[in-house]
Chains A and B, each alone.
Chain A
Amino acid sequence: GAGVSQSPSNKVTEKGKDVELRCDPISGHTALYWYRQRLGQGLEFLIYFQGNSAPDKSGLPSDRFSAERTGESVSTLTIQRTQQEDSAVYLCASSFSSGGSGAQYFGPGTRLLVL
């Protein structure tokens, strides 16, 4: 079946602009994660959605970052007033709820470059 998809695959923006990144999880996956990966660095957790529960936003680096999820489907990550340090690959992953495999399946990522 279809995997996790993300769009756009690449985004170049100017400092101060807002950007919106989209994630389409695997159908039936109730958990959805956003991560950030700077060049040559490890994964940095941003936010986690699980069903209708309140999201875990503890990884968001500043109030310029926000995310929404519509039911158990599409999620959008919004970065307002982008800064150069926001340049990174933004990865989305989805997984089944507990009771199934905890494996997280990742999308290809959105490569964001802030000039």
Chain B
Amino acid sequence: DAKTTQPPSMDCAEGRAANLPCNHSTISGNEYVYWYRQIHSQGPQYIIHGLKNNETNEMASLIITEDRKSSTLILPHATLRDTAVYYCIGLRGSTLGRLYFGRGTQLTVWP
């Protein structure tokens, strides 16, 4: 699975968009980019995933660069409840791989 690199921390004002970057320059053609988050004292939560195209769901949008070497998770209107550690992961197309979380990005949303 691809190695990913994320900034250790980011801040965002409540109501503004939070843009969380992830570098995955070694990602292979059949690896999906997955995003999870973990709110303090809770289990991890799936957010979104994509292969090549940009994706959007009720939680977030995922923008993947054309060369697939990086991606950005966008929370369009961050709330205080979005404060969490966000993890970017590359997983093969078999989609049944075990999850390894790196250090992720600690997003703090301020009122």
Which residues on A are within 8 Å of B, measured CB to CB?
Answer: 31, 33, 35, 42-43, 45, 48, 50, 56, 59, 89, 91, 93, 95, 97-98, 100-109
Contacts and interface: CB of A to CB of B under 8 A. Distances in A.
A102 B43 contact: no
Report which residue of A31, A50, A93, A103 has the largest number of chain B beta carbons within 10 angstroms of its beta carbon: A103
A39 B95 CA distance: 28
B101 A43 contact: yes
Shortest 9 CB-CB contacts between residues of A and residues of B? A102-B95, A106-B43, A103-B46, A45-B98, A42-B101, A106-B44, A109-B43, A43-B101, A91-B43
B44 A31 contact: no
Contact of B49 (A31, A98, A103, A108): A103
A100 B95 CA distance: 8
B100 interface: yes
Interface of B: 32, 34, 42-46, 49, 91, 94-103
Contacts of A102: 32, 34, 49, 91, 94-97
Contacts, number: 59
B101 A101 contact: no
Given A106-B43, A108-B42, A108-B43, A101 B100 contact: no
Given A42-B101, A42-B102, A43-B101, A106 B96 contact: no
B98 A48 contact: yes
A100 B101 CA distance: 22
Contacts of A103: 34, 46, 49
Given A102-B32, A102-B91, A50 B96 contact: yes
B27 to A, nearest CB: 15
